[in-house]
Structure 1
Amino acid sequence: MTPSARVQAAIELLDLVIEGARAGGAAADTVIARYFKERRYAGSKDRRAVRDLVYRAIRRCGDAPASGRAALLGLTRDDPGLAELFDGSVHGPAPIADGEEAAPAGLLPGWIVPRLDPLIAGEEWPALLDRAPLDVRVNRLRGTREEALAKLADAQPTPLSPLGLRLPEGFRVEESEAWRSGLVEIQDEGSQLLALACAVAPGEVALDLCAGAGGKTLALAAEMANQGRILASDADRGRLSRLAPRLERAGVTIVEPRLLDPGREAEQLADLAGTLDLVLVDAPCSGSGTWRRNPETRWRLTPKRLDQLVALQARLLDVAAGLLRPGGRLVYAVCSLLAEEGRDQAAALSVRSSLEPQPVPLAAGRPAGTGRLLSPAVDGTDGFFVACWSRP
């Protein structure tokens, strides 16, 4: 591909990403993978260059741009060399017309800014869109961090999680023997800390209420030394179906998957009422704490969608509260930096329930109401809010 053809490919991809953000389509990385699967002529250097242009443009636009061309034109403001590639060549983009408007620069959608947690100051916003590191969690059931370090020569210990390792960008984790043997799992350091904050012990009975594909379920099982019982429930059949092979690779045998129907969680979990030592509610949320991984998702969020998520989080917390035994613990976590999903949600549960707020057993993060807030700028992790309660 010529340099101009790379720019045109980036424009076409951005159009697809923008359309997907408006219509609830595939994520940017999926769109890019599909695009190049149909264009085998593009070499690895071409794919990397185009991908870099696409993500540079996405990160620059706080609100969804009008078009892929407008988004790329925005990059030419600081890159005159890029402007020269709008040359009208056979496979390149048309020349820039006089007065043609570029997408305005920005970090966050304007309506989001006042809804950020008060702790997230303006100087922290750029870090929300930085490239995220590649972290893995060492599986205690398969070995130690020292053993994993010996097998992953380029890894470095993460600064906060005693189980974490950080790998160079682009490292092919799933091709390593450490991953194939179940010694490590891909997991951001923040997610590792949340699992540790659950403070589970061998022999306990726990529920991962929104388990998804089971990343935190696996972490809990390792902390329990594969002794006790964990129920991993979710309303997404596709995500939950990915758990079984992960359990086998990790050597976990105490997990029972349970598919739930949306809106019927309380009914379908009634057999557990008043029996659980721990319920983890890693609730569906805006994902604002993970925008550095999927920056285009900030274009998908709307005030209406946020209201729906907040209502769902509250309902799931109420379901979880009814499942605890006396002395049982509820841990609420969202990968969000919005006050409505974090500190406000926790404060509301403390008012309407008989649960007693407990300190979050984490040295990392900043106090945020009754919980703690992890952020990319301060902690170097994905953004998370976490809070804990116990049943008297």
Structure 2
Amino acid sequence: MTPAARVQAAIEILDNVIDGARGNGAPADRIIANWAKSNRYAGSKDRRAVRELVYSAIRACGPIPKTGRVAMLRLAEMDETIAALFDGSQYGPHAIGRNEKPAQGGVAPDWLVERLAASGVDAAAQEALLGRAPLDVRVNALKADRGGLELPVAGEHLAPPQALRFEQGTQVEQWPEYREGKVEVQDLGSQYACLAAEVKPGETVIDLCAGAGGKTLALAAAMENRGTLVASDTDRSRLSRLAPRAERAGAGMIETVLLDAGREMDALGQYRRAADCVFVDAPCSGIGTLRRKPEAKWRLDSRSLDRYAGIQDKLLDIAAELVRPGGRIIFVTCSLLDEEGANRFEAFLERAPGWQADTRKLGAGKPRGKGLRLTPSHDGTDGFFIARAALPC
């Protein structure tokens, strides 16, 4: 492909990304993958270049643009080399018209920028959300130790005891150590969240929103594969991915429980007042992960945030039914918005008699409300809110 043809391909992909964002359709990574499958003539360098153009254009636009072309014009406004490729050549984009205007720039749509600012996220912290995330892994303590594990690429040792960092694009999934379950891809912020739980061997722990089980596996390693660890979720498809991952990791202690939304306690009733720890990695807007999924900023509105807040309140209440006296709840969201973090946690403490905030130092994050907030700008992690609540004996 010529450089101009790559720009035109990116424009066409962006049209689909924009349609997907408006209609809750396929995410950008899937759209790009489908394009690659349908255009076998594009070599690996072409695919990488087109992907980079698409994500760069998404990051360059604040509000959702009208078309992929105006999104790319915004990127061309910032990079003269791209502007020069609007040359009308075969397979390339036609020349920029005198009256054509690029899409509006910015971190996110104006309403979301205002919400972030109201949550104490300053301009520098917002700007950091537009960066590229590195690739972090957790060495699986059930099979290896960071200090003695030799990997094809030497990673940077991070503060958590089993955390390593590599450059974005490192093909960890191709390593024998990954296939053998010795390493798991996991953002540094997620590793801090699991450390906050302070789970111990022999405890009864419930991962209430386990999804595909990334944090469940970290909890299993911390528990040394001893005790009761329940991974529950309402999403059958995501939960089904945990079993092969657990087998590869050697985490044989994990029990999976599929939940029926609205009837969660029907499936978890046997654990009522029995859990030492309930880990609530609650569904949220994902604003803290914009480095990885930049188009997420186009998929949100205030109604979505209200819906997430309601789900988070409900999950905290369910968790409170499961914890025994002397136990704890860990509340986690990958959001920087107070309405999905500090406000939800404080509202829980107000309506749940006996529960107390139990903030612990993690060696990362800044206090926010009665919990901690991790950010790309301060901690080099995705954006997270992490809080602990304890129920005294």
TM-score bracket for the superposition, by shorter chain length: over 0.9
- Residue 164 of structure 2 corresponds to 165
Q: Deviations over 1:313-350 (max 9, x none)?
A: 00110011011101011000000000101110111011
| Aligned residue in 1 for 2:54 | 54
Q: Which runs of 4+ in 1 moved over 3 A?
A: none
Deviation of the 1:27 alpha carbon: 1.4
| Equivalent residue, structure 1, for 2:359 | 359
Counterparts of 1:13 and 1:360 in 2: how far apart (Å)?
45
CA distances 1:271-326 after superposition (whole Å, capped 9, x unpaired): 21110000000000010110110000110011111100000000110011011101
- Deviation sequence 1:5-44 (CA, Å, 0-9, x none): 1111010000011111111112111111110111010011
Range 75-84 or range 189-198, more displaced: 75-84
1:293 partner letter: R
1:233 paired residue number: 232
* CA deviations over 1:94-127 (Å, ceiling 9, x no partner): 2211111110111122111232264421121111
Aligned residue in 2 for 1:43: 43
AA partner of residue 56 (structure 2) = R
Q: Does 1:305 align with 2:304?
A: yes
Residue type at the aligned position of 1:140: A
1:207-286 to 2 correspondences below 5 Å: 207-286=206-285
Equivalent residue, structure 2, for 1:337? 336
| 1:28-177 alignment runs, 5 A limit | 28-116=28-116, 118-148=119-149, 150-158=150-158, 160-177=159-176
- CA drift of 1:202 comes to 0.4
Partners in 2 of 1:152 and 1:91 — Cα distance? 40
CA–CA distance in 1 between the matches of 2:328 and 2:361? 12
Give the match for residue 19 of structure 2.
19
Aligned partners of 1:54 and 1:153: how far apart in 2? Answer: 28
Rounded Cα–Cα distance in structure 1 between residues aligned with 2:276 and 2:184: 25
- Distance (Å, rounded) in 1 between the aligned partners of 2:81 and 2:141: 50
Tell me how far apart the structure 1 counterparts of residues 146 and 106 of structure 2 sit (CA, whole Å). 40
Does the CA contact (< 8 Å) of 1:231 and 1:257 recur in 2?
yes
Residue of structure 2 in register with 1:317 after alignment: 316
Identical columns (%): 53
Letter in 1 for 2:141: R
CA–CA distance in structure 1, aligned partners of residues 71 and 278 of structure 2: 44
The equivalences for 1:162-201 within 5 A come to 162-201=161-200
Secondary structure in 1 matching 2:31? helix
C-alpha distance in structure 2 between counterparts of 1:350 and 1:250, whole Å:
36
**1:182-214 Cα distance to aligned partner (Å, 9 max, x none):** 111000011001101100110000000000000
Q: Secondary structure at the match of 2:64?
A: coil
What secondary structure, in the 3-state scheme, does the structure 1 residue paired with 2:297 have?
helix
**Which amino acid is 1:36 matched to?**
A
- In structure 1, runs of 5+ residues without a counterpart are none
CA contact (8 A) 2:258 2:267 kept: no
Contact (CA 8 Å) 2:257, 2:267: kept in 1 or not? no
In structure 1, distance between residues paired with 2:58 and 2:78: 15
Equivalent residue number for residue 390 of structure 2: 390
- Is there any run of 5+ residues in structure 2 with no aligned partner, and where? none
Residue 48 (structure 1) shift = 1.4
- Asked if 2 retains the 8 angstrom alpha-carbon contact of 1:115 and 1:340, the reply is no
Over the aligned positions, Cα root-mean-square deviation in angstroms equals 1.1
Distance in 2, Cα, partners of 1:280 & 1:80: 49
Give, in angstroms, the shift of residue 361 of structure 1. Answer: 4.1
For the 8 Å contact 2:107–2:113, the answer to whether it is kept is no
Are the aligned partners of 1:154 and 1:168 in contact in 2 as well (CA < 8 Å)? Answer: no
Check whether the contact 1:152–1:178 (CA below 8 A) recurs between aligned residues: no
Q: Deviations over 1:44-89 (max 9, x none)?
A: 1111111111111000111111100000111121222322222222
Shift of 1:266: 2.6
Q: Which residue of 2 aligns with 1:375?
A: 375
Q: Say which is worse superposed, 353-362 or 271-280, in terms of deviation.
A: 353-362
CA contact (8 A) 1:13 1:35 kept: yes
Output the amino acid matched with 2:378.
V
Amino acid at match of 1:5: A
Q: Is the 8 A contact 1:64 1:299 kept in 2?
A: yes
| Mapped partners of 1:100, 1:151: distance in 2 | 51
Counterpart secondary structure, 1:315: helix
SS for the counterpart of 2:129 is helix
SS at match of 2:110: coil
SS of 1:115's partner is: helix
Q: Any idea what the Cα deviations from partners look like across 1:338-390, whole Å, max 9, x if unmatched?
A: 01011101110110002111113412110111100000000000110011111
Provide the rounded CA distance (Å) in 1 between the counterparts of 2:64 and 2:362: 36
Could you tell me how far 1:129 is from its partner in structure 2? 1.5
